[in-house]
Structure 1
Amino acid sequence: MSRSSHPSSTDADRPRAVLVGVQLQGVSDDELQSSLDELERLVETLGLQSVGRVTQKRQGLGSANLLGEGKLKILAGYTGGQGFVAPFVAPGTQDETAEESLEDLEESHFEEGDEVSPAGTVIVDHDLSPTQLRNLEKVTGVEVLDRSMVILSIFQRHARTREAKLQVEIARLVYMAPRLRETHAGAERQRGGIGGKGAGESALELGRRATRDRIAELRRALVGVQREAETQRSRRNTNEIQAVALIGYTNAGKSRLMRGLTNKEMYVANQLFATLDTTVRVLVPETRPRILISDTVGFIKDLPHDLVASFRSTLAEAEEANLHLHVIDASDPMMRDQYEVTRQVLAEIGADEHPRLLILNKCDLLQKDQQQALASEFPEAVQMAATRPEDIVRLHGLIRDFFEKSMEEATFIIPYDQQAKVGLLHKRCRVIDELYKDDGAHVRILAPSGVIEGLGQEIAIPPNPG
């Protein structure tokens, strides 16, 4: 694929990066470009500017250099690298082959008058083996990051709570452990055990052992943090709190929707993984009983395995929720693939059987015929735009109706000398009517059965069925 650049005066000061993608068998041109478009958004979230793309059709990803010789030279043209993996040359000898290859590269790749701003980073849209990573760095002469490392770097930057920071650091260390290598070929070994005999450990072995110890330490700390979070969730469950979780692909508009439903300021940005930590707020206008809304971290395809594992706790709010609002960016051409990715990750963490309301967000960006086609394909979905107040009001009503379907009616008779308990009913339930008779206040309420049972024990007055 030919070089392409995206110059912009606003990007002039941002570090430059070139993207690399391999088109495997069964992957269409559109799928390849969509994957690279997503990678470009990841790169922008990381603070880099994409200045070009290098792609190649290959049978597999097993090649030590990932790309063929010609594509390696093209890639090196972006970075000013040598364009090949130099063979080992004994000290004191001259590598004429390397010099000739570099001359060929300069003659074939750069034309007179070209102004080339070298890219300082190569981003590969696949996971790389340690050998591939090392070889590509030799070819390009710059830092090389694969897709997993980009995602980990973004997670590390956006993590705010202690739990999120611990999870990301564990995933980063697990990813880096097999990629540790000697800083120089002649690294000395530490002395052996008793009496200094034995080969001892090399610097590489010491580094790997230190990494394993650090991972174990972080996991112990994470268990304590997660235990505290579980205690908080248990308290909410004990009080029969009604909960809704916003789930979906990253950048689908969940945080903006959260802002509309809760009237709380949320960090909203047109970036992937703008939200990483789970946030819980109360649905506004408030209902009785109250409904909690949680905004969870977004999903993405090819998520590093260890981050999927960490999602089990990050998405605990989704597992505990009574209702999932599955938010999809209806304006994205890859929305169906993104829908399936979300479903697959939810299945991996055991949270795919919850009641779900499908939200086709950003429908204001679609034409009428596109909206009609989506209505036919997803007849039970809610088409809306989180930026339109009338759509937020409509969604608020749908959430309220969902919970009221499972509520029960009951009547509490509160003696006049215990009227403070009437306020408790107003706080915990939806009061349908309130009549004052000779024996006290007759308060008819609507609430989940568990709330009604708990109130009967708390105010020591058994309710009468509705």
Structure 2
Amino acid sequence: MGNAFPQRPSHQERMLLVGVRRPHMSVRDMQRSLDELVQLVGTAGGEVAAVTTQQMKTISAHSFLGSGKVDELKKMVHDEKIDAVVVDDQLTAVQNRNLEEALTVRVLDRPSLILDVFALRARSHEGKLQVELAQLQYIAPRLVGRGEMLSQQAGGIGTRGPGETALEVDRRRIRERMTLLRRRLDTVRAERDVQREKRLQSSMPLVSLVGYTNAGKSTLLNALSHADALVEDKLFATLDPLTRRVKLPTGREILLADTVGFIERLPHELIEAFRATFEEISYAHLLLHVIDLSDENMEVKYHTVERVLHDLGLTEKPTFIVLNKSDAGHAVPRFAADGIKISALHGQGLDELLRCIDAYFSKHFVTLELLLPHTRGDVLSELYRCGYIREVRHEPEGIIVQCSLLASAAKKFSEFIQPCEHSPSPTP
């Protein structure tokens, strides 16, 4: 079974969004989630034709929504010429199937829309494999009784990734495809492990950008590294990790890595499929948690990211809070009082951010004296890139270097280390 990607419809799909307010949710929480759903639809290439909301006192096991709301949706689908309905919650296979039968159009829930956006944004071979695996894991229990309706669909939003061909096969073939995808991912990840090992051997400190999707991480990566990573005002513009070199004020270099943005209620299947990608963060020496200071929901989004980091076992990582878009004049919330204020787009505060990173690593460096053979200029060059060089003397026995290195990186140069009783303390 191949990975068949359906063609996009010739027109922009008209979507009807259904906001859901569960008993524990405030009106503001419902509206915030619905606003994010609007962004997801836009990122997926759809048009929000109509929006309706429903306060849920009880959940219908049959169709999620009550019969009165379903009748209302039928009329809206007809009147607004709707192509698909998106429910801002998670539906069971039975609920999804019954709603599609009642409304006679495709029905998506929030997780399936997020999966579709991931399928659209994946660019690397590994990213595409991860998304397809996540989609198959989500789709498999929803295949029963859907074959006839799916065979009539023309590959719109919610059918990207594994595609129509994958959706019509039986569960046995789905399981076979998932097994194949896992094997291919194991191969790709083994190659990435080799690349990571080379990065770690470079001795340069690794700093990872984390944050809610669309907080400005890619813009910050570009601003600090003077590179051209993809920057779009869309959710999940960065799906595949990027790593760039960045020079600190002292001249030492670090590796700065962009990562997948987080989002509230990220589908479990995506977290599992992308776990290896998320866990790349675990190799970082320092995290920069980027927050959009102009976002009125910044605190909720901050805690969403913190929960995902907790689930990945990364809450103990040293972290700087970076307050992006601070030039708009918004007040700094109490939870981020120690944050570093910047504007990645306009370059404000970037020098201070780099100084803070530099100062952090200076405190976590060890001071060493090394004796290098005269023929090992390559080692001296690497020391300049990843450490603080205090003194270099050319003696008959070799090159004497007094420097400060990240403790974890110092092991690489162990063969050259000499006793250093009176070395100066490291300074930024």
Q: Quick one: structure 1 residues 432 and 14, their matched pair in 2 at CA, closer, same or farther if it must change by over 3 Å?
A: same
Name the larger-Rg structure: 1
Which of 31, 43, 46 aligns to 2:44? It is 46
In the alignment, the residues of structure 1 paired with residue 179 and residue 279 of structure 2 have an alpha-carbon distance, to the nearest angstrom, of 22
Q: Does 1:301 align with 2:264?
A: yes
Which of 435, 438, 443 aligns to 2:401? It is 443
Which residue of 2 is the match for residue 357 of structure 1? Answer: 320
The answer to whether the 8 A contact 1:329-1:361 is kept is: yes
- What displacement does 1:205 show? 11
Which residue of 1 is the match for residue 355 of structure 2? Answer: 397
Where relative contact order (Cα < 8 A, 6+ residues apart) is larger, the structure is 2
- What displacement does 1:278 show? 0.7
- What displacement does 1:424 show? 5.1
The answer to whether the 8 A contact 1:242-1:291 is kept is: yes
Equivalent pairs counted in the alignment come to: 395
Q: Does 1:464 align with 2:420?
A: yes
Q: Does 1:224 align with 2:182?
A: no
In the alignment, the residues of structure 1 paired with residue 200 and residue 375 of structure 2 have an alpha-carbon distance, to the nearest angstrom, of 31
Flag structure 2 segments of 5+ consecutive residues without an equivalent. 1-10, 150-166, 424-428
The answer to whether the 8 A contact 1:410-1:445 is kept is: yes
The answer to whether the 8 A contact 1:173-1:215 is kept is: yes
Flag structure 1 segments of 5+ consecutive residues without an equivalent. 1-12, 81-115, 186-203
- What displacement does 1:287 show? 6.1
Q: Quick one: structure 1 residues 42 and 424, their matched pair in 2 at CA, closer, same or farther if it must change by over 3 Å?
A: closer
| TM-score, scaled relative to structure 2 | 0.85
Which of 250, 254, 258 aligns to 1:291? It is 254
Q: Does 1:281 align with 2:281?
A: no
Which residue of 1 is the match for residue 389 of structure 2? Answer: 431
Bigger drift between 385-394 and 61-70 goes to 61-70
Q: Residue by residue, what CA displacement relative to the aligned partner does 1:254-298 show, whole Å, maximum 9, x if unpaired? A: 111111111110111111111101111111358665311110001
Which residue of 1 is the match for residue 205 of structure 2? Answer: 242
In the alignment, the residues of structure 1 paired with residue 253 and residue 404 of structure 2 have an alpha-carbon distance, to the nearest angstrom, of 12
One-letter identity of the residue aligned with 1:208: R
The answer to whether the 8 A contact 1:415-1:439 is kept is: yes
- What displacement does 1:389 show? 1.8
Q: Does 1:207 align with 2:170?
A: yes
Which residue of 2 is the match for residue 89 of structure 1? Answer: none
Bigger drift between 286-295 and 212-221 goes to 286-295
State the SS of the aligned residue for 1:283: strand
State the SS of the aligned residue for 1:297: coil
In the alignment, the residues of structure 1 paired with residue 216 and residue 375 of structure 2 have an alpha-carbon distance, to the nearest angstrom, of 51
Which residue of 2 is the match for residue 263 of structure 1? Answer: 226
In the alignment, the residues of structure 1 paired with residue 88 and residue 12 of structure 2 have an alpha-carbon distance, to the nearest angstrom, of 20
Q: Does 1:163 align with 2:126?
A: yes
Which of 319, 337, 341 aligns to 1:379? It is 337
- What displacement does 1:449 show? 3.5
Bigger drift between 153-162 and 429-438 goes to 429-438
- What are the residue-to-residue correspondences of 1:7-46 with 2, within 5 Å? 14-46=12-44
Q: Does 1:141 align with 2:96?
A: no
In the alignment, the residues of structure 2 paired with residue 314 and residue 141 of structure 1 have an alpha-carbon distance, to the nearest angstrom, of 38
Q: Residue by residue, what CA displacement relative to the aligned partner does 1:126-169 show, whole Å, maximum 9, x if unpaired? A: 11122221222233221111111101111111111121111111
Q: Residue by residue, what CA displacement relative to the aligned partner does 1:176-222 show, whole Å, maximum 9, x if unpaired? A: 1111134369xxxxxxxxxxxxxxxxxx9971111011111111111
Q: Quick one: structure 1 residues 266 and 416, their matched pair in 2 at CA, closer, same or farther if it must change by over 3 Å?
A: closer
- What displacement does 1:64 show? 1.5
State the SS of the aligned residue for 1:464: coil
One-letter identity of the residue aligned with 1:430: Y
State the SS of the aligned residue for 1:157: helix
Which residue of 2 is the match for residue 320 of structure 1? Answer: 283
- Over aligned residues, Cα RMSD in angstroms? 2.7
Q: Quick one: structure 1 residues 54 and 235, their matched pair in 2 at CA, closer, same or farther if it must change by over 3 Å?
A: same
The answer to whether the 8 A contact 2:365-2:406 is kept is: yes
Which residue of 1 is the match for residue 6 of structure 2? Answer: none
In the alignment, the residues of structure 1 paired with residue 377 and residue 197 of structure 2 have an alpha-carbon distance, to the nearest angstrom, of 30
In the alignment, the residues of structure 2 paired with residue 393 and residue 24 of structure 1 have an alpha-carbon distance, to the nearest angstrom, of 45
| TM-score, scaled relative to structure 1 | 0.78
Q: Does 1:125 align with 2:120?
A: no
Query: Identity of paired residues, percent?
Result: 35
Q: Residue by residue, what CA displacement relative to the aligned partner does 1:4-59 show, whole Å, maximum 9, x if unpaired? A: xxxxxxxxx63211101221112111111111000110000000111221111122
The answer to whether the 8 A contact 2:119-2:128 is kept is: yes
Bigger drift between 308-317 and 162-171 goes to 308-317
State the SS of the aligned residue for 1:389: coil
